[in-house]
Amino acid sequence: MSKLLLLPLLLTACMPKVFPEDENLPPPVPRSSGGELSIDFGVAWEVVVEVLAEAAPISETNESTGLIETGFVFGPSNDVFTAYGGTRIPESARYRYYASVEPNGSGSFVTVYGQQWIEKDMISVDREFTGAIYQWIEVAAPALKIQELWSEIQETANNRTGTSQEYDYRY
């Protein structure tokens, strides 16, 4: 009888420990940045496609709806880190960006969105094993990378018009 009581204790003692940095993964939060550009829709569309194409391969565009989608690009995360020996090491991540361009009076309104996934093993993040040891887990969108894309869109738009303008920054 005492052996039966020890069985649950032994089974739980052999469970892998969840690493502290993996317990606190940021939840998938949508983030965006964008604002008003004082250029017509056609020029704004060209600028946004050009800037996104430099950041990632374009997978889909629809000028009639004003939507642009990129494929995946891989690189280090700016938001998710692994703590190792007192240092913060960026996690490997994959990103996908979206943009919407809408005519707005004499100008255009542009919004850039993003998604971010990090690759984790299912044991360390205490996830259900589904046949693959590593899986991509969606985490908070890459705020810095989205803001950098918006800044590049603004700069490219200014170079096309030759003017400097104030922008409404949104997150």
Nearest to 134 by CA among 148, 123, 146: 123
Q: Of 30, 33, 34, 31, which is closest to residue 104 (Cα–Cα)?
A: 34
Q: Is the dihedral of CA 48, 36, 65, 74 positive or negative?
A: positive
Q: Which residue has the tokens 């993003």?
A: 114
pLDDT in tens, 32-82: 899 999 899 999 999 999 999 999 999 999 999 999 999 999 999 888 887
- Cα distances (angstroms) measured from residue 157 to each of 10, 21, 111, 113, 123: 64, 40, 14, 18, 47
Instruction: Supply the pTM of this predicted model.
Output: 0.74
Q: Which domains does the chain have, with CATH numbers?
A: 29-161 (3.30.530.50)
Per-residue tokens: 55 = 């950041």
pLDDT digits (tens, 9 = 90+) for 80-127: 887 777 788 888 899 999 999 999 888 999 999 999 998 887 766 666
